[in-house]
Amino acid sequence: MRTLYHFHGGVHPPTNKAQSVRTPIAFAGIPSKLVVPLHQHVGNTSKPAVQVGERVLKGQMFGMPEGSVSSAVHAPTSGTVAAIDMQQVAHPSGLPDLCVTLIPDGKDEWIARNGVDYRSKDAAELRQMLRLAGVVGLGGAVFPSDLKLRAGKHKMTTLVINGAECEPYITCDDMLMRERADEIVQGAEMMRTMLGAEEVLVGIEDNKPEAIAAMQAAVKANGLNNMEVVAVPTIYPGGGAKQLIRVLTGIEVPAGVRSTDLGVQCFNVATAWSAHRAVAHGEPLISRIVTVTGNVERPQNFEVLIGTPLNELLPLAGPRPDTNAHIMGGPMMGVTLPSDKVAVTKATNCIIEGSLALFPPPPMPLPCIRCTRCAEACPADLQPQELYWFAKSKNFGKTQEYHLFDCIECGACSYVCPSSIPLVQYFRFAKSEIWANEREKDAADLARQRHEFRQLRIERDKQEKAEKLAQKEKAAAAAKAAAPAAAPAAPASAPAAPAVTEAAAAPSAAKPATDDATQALINAAIARAREQAVAVKPKNMESLTPQQQAEIAEIEARRAKVRELSHPEAGKPEE
Amino acid sequence: MFSPFITQATSVRAIMFRVMLALVPAIAVYVWYFGPAILVTLTLASVTALATEAAMLKLRQRPLAPFLRDNSALLTAWLLALSIPPLAPWWLVVVGTAFAISVAKHLYGGLGSNPFNPAMIGYAILIISFPAQMTHWVAPHGLGQLEMSPAQQLQYIFGGQLPGSATLDAVTMATPLDTLKTQLHLGHSASEVMGMPIYGHLGGIGGEMVALAFLLGGVYLLLTRIISWHLPVAFLATLFATAGIFYLVDPAHYAPPLFHWFSGAAMLGAFFILTDPVTSPTTIGGKFIFAAGAGFLTYIIRVFGGFPDGVAFATLLMNICVPLIDAYTQPRVFGKKGDK
Amino acid sequence: MLIAILAMSALAILLGAVLGFSALKFKVEGNPLVDKIDAVLPQTQCGQCGYPGCKPYAEAIASGAADINRCPPGGEEGIHKLADLLGVEFKPFGEDTAAPKPKSVAFIDENTCIGCTLCLQACPVDAIVGAAKQMHTIVAAECTGCELCVAPCPVDCISMVPLPETISTWKWQYPVIPIQAAATNKN
């Protein structure tokens, strides 16, 4: 029996998982349209790789990864690209983001898939494959997986595979482990070889005996001696990456430190499964398992194409009429979605339909009585009551002193608060204010730097001009001095001297003249511009071939698009 | 709506109610030994507390219902009523409670913002302003020269009239702690004093049983995890250790440690006063420092100070230090290298 | 008596020497207050305060020549920060200062631009790219929204576009506190 470690705090909310594990995972089908956001991962938005009107095949790349921290996005099925524009996405803000809208043709026609044996590739090649397959952390963090598979400074000892799934209601990992254990195990083994880790520990909470049994059988069947399935105690947030690493290995990964530098790495079971599909079958990440539960008639897990709008997914589970909210994620850390028109993304592990009966609005918050139940529940050993005090009074410097950024926003503190204070919300608020302040400060610093450089440049130009002028005057004076000396020798050149002086005097006299000239030029240009503006029709347009005209029209359309994208408020969906 | 969307159903109201429930055994024992006057005092204090709370909330333009229902004012009232002599005149109770709620609680910002324990502020104000009334403790059952009937107790509380020709000294007596202090001054040895009939097995007849009942209530609170064990254990241990050292050095002049545990407000303080979350530190280390300081100060005030009991002043003195203690005892954060 | 006088004098000399030495040793270059004020100012360099940039305004505040309520881009929050820094009372914006506007960036209508370079010369942070008779473009990431380029443009091709909130700049809101709401409702 393996020694397990303990982390501080934690809570035991009612799990509510039984409802959604009664039936196997069902395919949710191809919806009438798919809205695929190009920013579904931590890092840069992918660069659009398709054009409006283009026919795409299932698995064809929609967005290229851009920059080092980014990932690819793919077509979930075959069809026609209807739009690339700003659409409301599954984000608590309700703001739009760049999305590719695909109208499926129902043929579900794959691109050429090239599955390879991971043993025939080196780690760098595999990482590139995962990056181009859009594999990101499916536990909810959606961090590009290829970046996490780079070994750290430390010798890698342990790869932790996270099947703990501690949040109430969510069962997508549970069902995935029950049904597809074999592929998860193979994906985990591939990740282990990429990292060069000594062992793989699969942590599963002990309230999922079926999943544990399935995974153990798969490990045995694959004959993997350095992989062990470990049942961990059921406690929220035992499935947090840091918490699970702590429980399984005893190592505490501090905030802001890469766990690979401490010799461990952690992946979600679904990520391991997707990585396996990506490499062994050449299938990019275009679908995921989503638990649909809560206030529905038939809670169930579905395999859903990324981009499926909620209003096409939810009817499969039969939402009850008194549904008043759509929650993405679990009841502890989830977010309320702006509407049921937003689409499933790679981060959507669960949709809980809310109702007043299921999630009654919290009572009015009372003042904090410093009872420290929050501190006792905090898995990061923080003092939420102090953080609350400082966040509430917007004393952000102090919140950072009290380690605000070690907060994993698990919600355990709010859950136990007898005064019903929305503690996590205060912490989210403080964090986003601090980030905004930092952005502003960076912008101000950049502006200051550029302004100071400009001042310096102007000063330098002035000096250089003055120096040039001085040199010129010096040369003129020298010429003048030389003139009388030369006069007796060459009287004919005498008229030349006044000419030189004239030339020397010219700059001062000529300046107003040039200014006048510039002004005249500008005026002429203005007149021309006005004329152009009035005469909308450009010149030389009469004798164009239809082909040329089509080209021009296309260019104009692209320009209009660019203009629209640079004014995104114009592209907001009507709500 | 923000996550988490679910909460655990333990409200401030429920917590305060459990603490009041834990006081019930002590109240029962109180009634048995000192007569039903305490019930009158409790009622009087409760009514005053709620009325003051309502008035202050109104003045501060806060909603009345949620704060009147949170039981915190009632708890303060009960703790104060249990700290003052059961035969106190009605106005003493009213003045003490009103002061505790209005000044010690609401002038500092109400629930959660008061730096001092309101009940102990009420007690301190009363013992400083009305020392005579505050030392007239009714003699425990079977010890006084004259025992008052419940009706006579009521008459005294509201009318100030004693039955027939009885004097106040006939119905009241000094507390064991008080007696010990006076007698030691008079040159008696501690063991001699402790042989007097007022001293029972542990800390004085009646009082010791009330203290045991407080202990019982405290254990209930510990078991239901309403309070953490750090504060009472550190307080009682320090009190025991300090008293033990003095007792070992000079048993003739210092009472044994168990006497200090079971006399005065030690048990009340350990389980019900120090554990007030608002006025005690939030860190584990801080709780130890706070309670140990209070235990030590309690002993020092009891033995060397001018007042018979030291729990109230020790608590208030340590209350002042809470922000400092908290600031210096911040625990190690997950993953950060440090003291662990 | 004499000893006392000598002792006091010796002490005075000693302390004076220490003070003199530390004044040299710990000499602060420049005016630290100006830098602190400058750090609070938004660096738009817009000149709306009546000074030719943020630094000159900071210098004016430090010397007491200017009030702290003359920076519209900094908003009321900026005035609060300055008041905190200088230990003075908060002052609302004066009648003569412009009202704060939402943060914007300049946008050049490239069809109308004639390439006169006048805006290039006006931009305090060199955020406009272009050359004579070439179309100009704003580097949005570096534009401070100072509006200094708007007036010089002879063809009025520059407009200020408010920066929309995006998912990456979106902020979690401050939790509403029903206690206060209830209290105000009562009034």
pLDDT tens-digit series, residues A198-255: 999 999 999 999 999 999 999 999 999 999 999 999 999 999 999 999 999 999 999 8
DSSP structural state of residue A409: -
Contact, A406 vs A426, CB < 8 A?
no
Could you give phi then psi for residue C66, rounded to 5 degrees? -125, 155
Cβ separation of C43 and A451 shorter than 8 Å? Answer: yes
Contact, B312 vs B120, CB < 8 A?
yes
Longest alpha-carbon distance in chain B:
74
pLDDT band at A562 (very low <50, low <70, confident <90, very high): low
pLDDT over 60 at C97, yes or no: yes
pLDDT over 50 at C107, yes or no: yes
- Option in A429, A439, A522 nearest C175 (CB): A429
Q: Residue C131 has what pLDDT?
A: 81
Tell me, rounded to whole angstroms, the distance of Cα B161 from its chain centroid.
28
Contacts of residue B261, Cβ cutoff 8 Å, sequence gap at least 6: B202, B203, B211, B236, B239, B240, B267
What mean pLDDT comes out for the span A84-107?
93
Q: Which residues pair with C161 in a beta bridge?
A: C105
- Option in B6, B12, B278 nearest A415 (CB): B6
For strand A300-305 and strand A287-294, is the pairing parallel, antiparallel, or unpaired?
Answer: antiparallel
d(CA B269, CA B54): 27
Output A525 or A53, whichever has higher pLDDT: A53
d(CA B114, CA B120): 12
Segment 255-274 of chain A within 8 Å of chain B by CB: 255, 257
Closest-CA residue in chain B for A368? B112
Q: In the structure encoding, which two tokens stand for residue B325, read together?
A: 């203690």
What mean pLDDT comes out for the span A291-314?
95
- Rounded (10°) CA dihedral A254, A260, A262, A268: 70
Q: Does the bond joining A237 to the residue before it have cis omega, within 30 degrees of 0?
A: yes
Mean pLDDT over all residues of chain C?
A: 84
Chain A residues lying within 8 Å of B14, measured CB to CB? 418
Q: In the structure encoding, which two tokens stand for residue B89, read together?
A: 């005149």
d(CA B61, CA B50): 16
d(CA A307, CA A100): 9
Spans of chain B, pLDDT less than 70: 141-146, 164-166, 168-171, 173, 197-198, 200-203, 337-340
Q: In the structure encoding, which two tokens stand for residue C153, read together?
A: 């443009």
Cβ separation of A415 and B334 shorter than 8 Å? Answer: no
Residue of B12, B57, B58, B61 to mutate for C, most C C-beta atoms under 10 A = B61
d(CA A303, CA A309): 14
For strand A79-88 and strand A55-56, is the pairing parallel, antiparallel, or unpaired?
Answer: antiparallel
Q: Residue B142 has what pLDDT?
A: 66
d(CA B327, CA B309): 30
Q: Residue B271 has what pLDDT?
A: 96
Q: Residue A532 has what pLDDT?
A: 61
Give the closest residue to B125 by CA, choosing from B92, B158, B157, B156. Answer: B92
Q: Residue A555 has what pLDDT?
A: 74
pLDDT band at A77 (very low <50, low <70, confident <90, very high): very high
Cβ separation of A371 and B15 shorter than 8 Å? Answer: yes
pLDDT tens digits, residue range C141-168? 888 888 888 888 888 889 898 888 888 8
Which helix (H) or strand (E) segment holds residue A379: the answer is: none
Cβ separation of A254 and B283 shorter than 8 Å? Answer: no
C130/chain B closest Cα distance in angstroms: 48
pLDDT over 50 at A573, yes or no: no
Task: Tell whether A185 lies on the interface with C, counting CB pairs under 8 A.
Answer: no
C37/chain A closest Cα distance in angstroms: 13
pLDDT over 70 at A538, yes or no: no
Give the closest residue to C183 by CA, choosing from B11, A429, B67. Answer: B67
Chain C residues lying within 8 Å of A95, measured CB to CB? 165-167, 170
Chain C residues lying within 8 Å of A451, measured CB to CB? 43, 45, 53-54, 124-125
pLDDT over 90 at A20, yes or no: yes
Closest-CA residue in chain B for A335? B3
Q: In the structure encoding, which two tokens stand for residue A366, read together?
A: 């009372």
C79/chain B closest Cα distance in angstroms: 28
Could you give phi then psi for residue C107, rounded to 5 degrees? -135, 125
Q: Characterize A144-171 residue by residue with b for buried, 16 or more Cβ atoms within 10 angstroms of its Cβ, and e for exposed.
A: bbbbbbebbeeebbbbbbbbbbbbbbbb
Contact, A79 vs A56, CB < 8 A?
yes
Task: Tell whether A386 lies on the interface with B, counting CB pairs under 8 A.
Answer: yes
Q: Residue B159 has what pLDDT?
A: 76
For every residue of B231-271, DSSP letters joined together read HHHHHHHHHHHHHHHHHHH-TTTS--HHHHHHSTTHHHIII
Q: In the structure encoding, which two tokens stand for residue A564, read together?
A: 């629209």
User: How many C-alpha atoms does C29 have within 13 Å on its Cβ side?
Assistant: 0
Q: In the structure encoding, which two tokens stand for residue A350, read together?
A: 């669960």
Phi/psi region, residue A294 (left: phi>0; alpha: psi -120 to 50; beta: rest), is: left
pLDDT over 60 at C56, yes or no: yes
What mean pLDDT comes out for the span C159-183?
75
Phi/psi region, residue A120 (left: phi>0; alpha: psi -120 to 50; beta: rest), is: alpha
- Option in A422, A445, A454 nearest C175 (CB): A422
Q: Characterize C104-142 residue by residue with b for buried, 16 or more Cβ atoms within 10 angstroms of its Cβ, and e for exposed.
A: bbbbbeeebbbebbbbbebbbbebbebeeeebbebeeeb
Kindly list the partner chains of chain A, i.e. chains with 3 or more CB atom pairs below 8 Å: B, C
pLDDT band at C73 (very low <50, low <70, confident <90, very high): confident
pLDDT over 80 at C182, yes or no: no
What mean pLDDT comes out for the span C123-129?
88
Kindly list the partner chains of chain B, i.e. chains with 3 or more CB atom pairs below 8 Å: A, C
Residue of B1, B5, B226 to mutate for A, most A C-beta atoms under 10 A = B5
Task: Tell whether A182 lies on the interface with C, counting CB pairs under 8 A.
Answer: no
Q: Residue C90 has what pLDDT?
A: 86
Q: Characterize A332-370 residue by residue with b for buried, 16 or more Cβ atoms within 10 angstroms of its Cβ, and e for exposed.
A: bbbbbbbebbbbbbbbbbbbbbbbeebbeebeebbbbbb
Q: In the structure encoding, which two tokens stand for residue C47, read together?
A: 């000149």
pLDDT tens digits, residue range A492-537? 444 444 444 444 444 444 445 556 666 777 777 777 766 665 554 4
Contact, A66 vs A45, CB < 8 A?
yes
Q: Residue B190 has what pLDDT?
A: 74
Q: Residue A542 has what pLDDT?
A: 56
Q: How many residues does chain A have?
A: 575
Mean pLDDT over all residues of chain A?
A: 87
By percentage, how much of chain A surpasses pLDDT 90?
70
d(CA A270, CA A174): 10
Could you give phi then psi for residue A320, rounded to 5 degrees? -80, 155
pLDDT tens digits, residue range A411-443? 999 999 999 999 999 999 999 999 998 988 898
Q: Residue B236 has what pLDDT?
A: 96
The CA angle B95-B96-B101, to the nearest 5 degrees, is 100
